[in-house]
Amino acid sequence: MVLTIAAAIFVFGLLVLVHELGHFITAKMTGMRVDEFAIGFGPKLVSVQRGETRYSIRAIPLGGFNDIAGMDPEQNDAGSRGYCAKPVGSRMIVILAGSFMNFVLPVILFFGIFFFAGINTPSTEPVLGTVLAGKPAAEAGLESGDRVLTVNGQPVATWSDFVNGVKDEGGEPVALTVERQGEQLAVTVTPSYDNSAKRAMVGVMGTVNTRYPGFVESVSLAFHQTGAIIYAMIAALCKILMELSGAELAGPIGVAQMAGEVAQMGFVPLLNFAAFLSLNLGIINLFPIPALDGGHFLTLCVEAVRGKPLSPKALQYTQSVGIILLILLMVLATKNDLVRVFMGG
């Protein structure tokens, strides 16, 4: 539980910090007055005043905000430094900067992973790498470094032989013979059915072979990895929209649970997860829903075409619609989270 909470705070905090930093930097660059830069919501835990801006960390680490003067034209007390008084182009830059930073972060994370941790390719040897705590393999006493010799008496020569032997048992007890430090041990493990993988699993990962690319190759690989994930995410989102299915949606509870599970595998997998989630946040924030950055950008595009902003009443109406849509999505995502956590669905 402690690891899950710590991992969730780290991931949410990093993503929110980077996103809000994009808004903050571009607001300052375009001459806007930023009254507060906050990570989290609710009561202030830490608060420091530096110049005209207050920097704070708040109690609920599920978001953040920039209090930019003049976001509401009727309450602009910053004159020409208010958001509403700046040219449309400047406001567009500020609005898009958050999502832009969410696309930049994964490139940086992937570069660091490739350059410092290397590229891991799965080994074909039937040797256990990571043994996940609390899973059937760990409960049966299996350890990292164990070499699987047989599954239910059948010899195992490759990692695929071991995986297929466990998968084909359909959750029934499996008799393994493993070699540990020159000794052969008999171990019985009962696989559990994994709903996401749609097969029986025991909670182990194989060993990997590591290669360390140079600086230039790491940069190239980071951009390639980021682009590939963006393409896959857009394809998945299109599929969800076409099928009108929200079964794969996850809310804060589901993301926190996944962060905890990934954190058990190590810090590098957690950074990979953070990069993946950052891209997800960047893409979703560009949706043309009024309460999101994409919705704000859309209203700015309308203003640029009309030559004047939308009326306060129209803005209020669109914002209300956007908030209702987001609440409905959050309710659906939370329902999915609760089903996964408490019912294994």
Q: Which member of 20, 74, 172, 248 is catalytic?
A: 20
**20 catalytic residue (yes or no):** yes
Q: How far apart are CA 45 and CA 69, in angstroms?
A: 23
DSSP E strands in 69-167: the ranges are 119-122, 128-131, 147-151, 154-155
SS3 content of the chain, % helix, strand, coil (to 5): 55, 20, 25
Q: How far apart are CA 91 and CA 325, in angstroms?
A: 24
3-state secondary structure 154-220: EECCCHHHHHHHHHCCCCCCEEEEEEECCEEEEEEECCEEECCCCEEECCEEECEEEECCCHHHHHH
106 burial (CB, 10 Å; 0-12 / 13-18 / 19+) is buried
Catalytic residues: 20
